[in-house]
Amino acid sequence: MKFFSKDKTLAVISKMTKKRIALFKDGEFETDNPKLIEKLKTKFRFEDKVVSGLASFIKLKKEAISKGVYVKGMKKIDLIKVLK
């Protein structure tokens, strides 16, 4: 998952260990670590690799319908979970 920061170079320090857990270069940081992803999601703007290609709700809905997993009234987040 890719995270974005307004600062071009930013180091994120863990409160518990006082060690650097993320280093943003040119305002971007990419990781696959699930624990780190959950921590950074709350503080930084992010782009999920899976979602980036399927950004619009209409595209997600069409894909879910074609796979037969669409239920009327589903939200975008539900569609993303079903299609993963």
Q: Which range among 36-40, 45-49, 68-72 shows the weakest confidence by mean pLDDT? A: 45-49
Query: How many structural domains is the chain composed of?
Result: 2
| Judgement on whether residues 20 and 52 belong to the same structural domain of the protein | no
Which structural domain range is residue 34 located in?
Answer: 1-46
Q: The whole model's pTM is what? A: 0.57
Residue with tokens 């595209």: 59
| Judgement on whether residues 69 and 40 belong to the same structural domain of the protein | no
9-13 and 2-4 strand pairing: unpaired
Residues 10 and 84: their CA atoms lie apart, in Å, by 31
| Judgement on whether residues 4 and 36 belong to the same structural domain of the protein | yes
Give the model confidence (pLDDT) of 8-26 as tens digits. 999 999 999 999 999 999 9
User: In the predicted model, is pLDDT for residue 48 greater than 80?
Assistant: no
Q: How far is CA 19 from the centre of its chain?
A: 23
pLDDT band at 47 (very low <50, low <70, confident <90, very high): confident
Give the model confidence (pLDDT) of 50-81 as tens digits. 555 545 788 888 888 898 988 888 888 888 88
Residue with tokens 């307004």: 6
Q: What is the pLDDT of residue 55?
A: 59
